[in-house]
A = this chain, B = another copy of it.
Amino acid sequence: MKKTSRKAAVELPLNEILAGDCIEIMNSLPEGSVDLIFADPPYNLQLKGDLHRPDNSKVDAVDDEWDQFSSFAAYDKFTKDWLAAARRVLKPNGAIWVIGSYHNIFRVGSELQNQGFWILNDVVWRKSNPMPNFRGKRLTNAHETMIWAGKNEDSKCTFNYEALKALNEGTQMRSDWVLPICNGGERLKNEAGEKAHPTQKPESLLHRVLVGATNPGDVVLDPFFGTGTTGAVAKKLGRDFIGIEREEAYRKVAAKRLSKVRKFDKESLMVSASKRAQPRVPFGQLVERGMLLPGEELYSMNMRHKAKVRADGTLVGGPDVSGSIHQVGAQLEGAPSCNGWTYWCYKKDGKTVPIDLLRQQIRAEMN
């Protein structure tokens, strides 16, 4: 761990719910100290009158005071201010996720781009059990949109490709996620038995976000903490969280919820890693260690080319064709690049085997 991050960690109020306005509080936190922000800002819903189901029961609409904005201009100013404060507390390689609906997400997305955030993906949360459209005047509003953006164009954001691929049973995770809405036992109730928050997000959604975009020990900030879904999942997954919430009622519910959450054991938090994380093995080492001999011939995967190993770990593939395993492979194939480890094979007991097997052998010994 680097000294700077250790220092920041000491100053940060970790695993707490901070009371107050998120813009003021974020501005009071040290600059560049947070790995990830997950934000579920007010949606600026402009509902006209009450909405009734066909049986005349009233739909419990999102009409709380905090969700009323007089105009797009006011909402835009609010968005601009909290995004700027959020950007300030992010580490240079930090990222942000914002969730919204068509009422607000276009304003948010535009402002993200205006401030220099770099959009990595927009992600659709496809609700498997949405509320139907009772009036039959529109399509069933069955999804919400999340924007995933880096602090800058060149931010090296965390992306656990292999872990998300594993979550999706071996094929790349797509930008559309099918997950149920939060209800049943997971949906928090207040003392009166009503839902404690109008837009509580499901933990499954946050699980995927945090597994994919953070590592254990990372600091995750949620400026609109609500009932604390972000904090609950962060705690379970061994990430630190900072929650900011203005409403006392929500803070109370969230605090109670978090006190009951336990972290998963360490082994289960390990996640499938990519090859990129493994130590580099120079091809020359195979020759030095006698696994391949100078003068020995290698064959291309497709058996169309061959090349000879030299004592210094380079290959010769013909007149004027020599260099690293990658360079010679690329040159023979007329390709811009080539992974020599998977391209070249050697003869072993009459069979042709990729040289990558020898690298794996060395890597195994290193553990």
Residues of A within 8 A of B (CB): 50, 52, 56, 72, 101-103, 105-110, 112-114, 119-124, 126, 128-130, 132-133, 136-143, 145, 147-148, 159-164, 166-170, 172-176, 178-180, 186, 202-204, 207-208, 211-212, 236-237, 264-265, 267-272, 274, 279-280, 282-285, 287-290, 293-295, 308-314, 316, 322, 324, 333, 335-338, 365-366
Contacts and interface: CB of A to CB of B under 8 A. Distances in A.
Contact of A106 (B105, B139, B335): B105
Given A56-B338, A167-B313, A174 B123 contact: no
A175 B56 contact: no
Contacts of A336: 50, 52, 56
B114 A308 contact: no
Contacts of A141: 121, 175
A130 B114 CA distance: 29
Given A172-B133, A312-B163, A365-B128, A290 B140 contact: no
A284 B136 contact: no
State the copy count for this chain: 2
Nearest to A282: B169
Given A139-B164, A264-B295, 16 more contacts: A102-B147, A106-B108, A124-B176, A133-B172, A137-B159, A140-B174, A142-B176, A143-B175, A143-B176, A167-B287, A169-B284, A178-B279, A204-B288, A264-B311, A271-B312, A272-B312
Contacts of A204: 285, 288-290
A175 B295 contact: no
Contacts of A140: 172-175
B138 A203 contact: no
Contacts of A119: 102-103
A124 B136 contact: no
Contacts of A236: 294
A356 to B, nearest CB: 14
A304 B253 CA distance: 42
Nearest to A310: B268
A366 B274 CA distance: 33
27 contacts: A52-B336, A56-B333, A56-B336, A105-B106, A107-B113, A123-B139, A128-B365, A137-B161, A139-B172, A139-B212, A140-B172, A140-B175, A142-B174, A167-B287, A169-B283, A169-B284, A180-B365, A203-B290, A204-B285, A237-B311, A264-B295, A268-B295, A269-B294, A271-B310, A271-B311, A272-B312, A272-B322
